[in-house]
Copies of this chain bind each other. A is one copy, B any other.
Amino acid sequence: MQNISSNPRLEEIILKIKKVGYSLTPQRYEIVKILSESKNHPTAADIYNKVKMVYPMVSLNTIYKNLTMLTSMREVKEIKTLQNAVHFDGDISSHGHVICENCGKITDIGINANDFNGFLKSDINNAFNEDYHIRGYSIEFYGLCRDCYEADKN
């Protein structure tokens, strides 16, 4: 557990954890670090295996508890694929995902928040704002990645 870091997202989450009053354990720090550094949307098991390399006695329960906590704090987002696998994304900035239906690969796509809000604010769609208090959204595309598409053709 290092004290120095050049990872602003990590710092940001740590700060929020302290602010809300949760304590910062080494395991928790490691989980947050993995999420903030990861570019490939790990599952709970992925994170578990990574944390185990540093803390071999860590329990899977700890991973789940922390992921639940971070999700409800809105510092982490869940991504659910068609294969019923749950992945986690430490990047809560406005973006969407493209999920390969064959291999399960998840790729980020940029969603321009202003554009998207413009789309949402259109007459057709803003009716629901009256009945719901929206706190977030997720946009996911399904299809085949290039590799699987090429393999499928042969």
**Chain copies in the assembly?**
2
| Chain A 103-154 residues near chain B, CB threshold 8 A | 107, 109-112, 115-116, 119, 122, 124-125, 127-128, 131-146, 149
Given contacts A80-B80, A139-B139, contact A124 B144 (CB under 8 A): no
- Using Cβ atoms and an 8 Å threshold, which residues of chain B touch A35? none
- Using Cβ atoms and an 8 Å threshold, which residues of chain B touch A145? 131-132
Q: Mark A80-121, 1 if CB is under 8 A from B, else 0.
A: 101010100000000000101100000101111001100100
B132 in contact with A136 (CB, 8 Å)? no
Main secondary structure of the interface of A (DSSP, over half): strand
- Using Cβ atoms and an 8 Å threshold, which residues of chain B touch A101? 135
A43 within 8 A of B: no
A11 within 8 A of B: no
Report how far A124 CA is from B113 CA in the complex, Å: 11
Partner of A86, one of B84, B125, B136, B141: B84
- Using Cβ atoms and an 8 Å threshold, which residues of chain B touch A140? 137-138, 140
How far in angstroms is the closest Cβ of chain B from A48?
17
- Using Cβ atoms and an 8 Å threshold, which residues of chain B touch A144? 132-133, 135
B141 in contact with A134 (CB, 8 Å)? yes
A66 within 8 A of B: no
What 7 pairs across the A-B complex have the smallest Cβ distances? A80-B80, A134-B143, A119-B119, A137-B141, A135-B143, A109-B128, A133-B144
